[in-house]
Amino acid sequence: MTKGELGPELCEILTYELKDAIEWAAQWPTLGDAEDAGYTMTVEYIEGMGTHHVMLNDFSMNDDEFDSENPKFPGTRIDDVFEHDKPEFLMYGGEDRDSELVGFAWFVHAPADSPPEGFTGDNDWWHRHESLCLRPSDFLMRGADIEDTQCENREGINVNLEEYWMVHAWIVRPWLTYDDVFTNHHPCLHEEGPEEDLEAECWGESTEHVGHDI
């Protein structure tokens, strides 16, 4: 299966879907804006991806009803409903308060062998993280697909996410990835921080998607 160009009608529909997400997230242009509104950083800045911020509201992993083997996230938007205009995660280009919004991630509960229908067209290739080590006190990711003992040493609990699917979208200018807006990583989010020179070579680099098998 390969990605391809969409016809004019589907392309127009997808454009409006993505525009809806941009307009909705415009109220949190910086990390400081998001955290002031209640967003929590669940993934620290990572090269190629930035941060992942989620609105937890009153949800806590310390709740007696939370089951790490069959996790549910009541009070959040992490559920089995795909909302094209409201991504579950906002991604920022750093951990400072003035770090800018660079991308989005949708995170939806669905059977392990059947990704969400998602966006118009077939170019949004969803992937899964089978388990993440999350720290209950603040929902911060401490590792991915690691042994229980390693996770415990990092003050975390391994959470089974076999039936949760994710897709990224890089649609916020200047972070728009023209080759593939649904690519997993952005070449201008460097290990040392986001690229500030808009003439840098990374903006023209291929953003080919590295797919994940079901």
178: left (phi over 0), alpha (psi -120 to 50) or beta: alpha
Full-model pTM? 0.92
Contact 3, 167 (CB under 8 A): no
pLDDT recorded at residue 3: 82
Nearest CA to 99 out of 151, 35, 158, 161 is that of 35
CA distance 73 to 61: 9
**pLDDT, tens digit (0-9, with 9 covering 90-100), for 28-60:** 999 999 999 999 999 999 999 999 999 999 999
Contact 99, 92 (CB under 8 A): yes
- Direct distance between the N- and C-terminal alpha carbons of the chain, in angstroms, rounded to an integer: 12
Give the mean model confidence (pLDDT) for residues 100-104.
98
Handedness of CA 134, 140, 144, 147 (dihedral sign): negative
Q: What is the pLDDT of residues 115-128, one digit of tens each?
A: 999 999 999 999 99
Angle at 192 between CA 191 and CA 194, to 5 degrees: 90
Q: Are 151 and 134 in contact (CB under 8 A)?
A: no
Mean pLDDT calculated for residue range 79-105: 98
Per-domain residue ranges for the chain?
8-204
- What are the phi and psi torsion angles at 14 (to 5°)? -60, -40
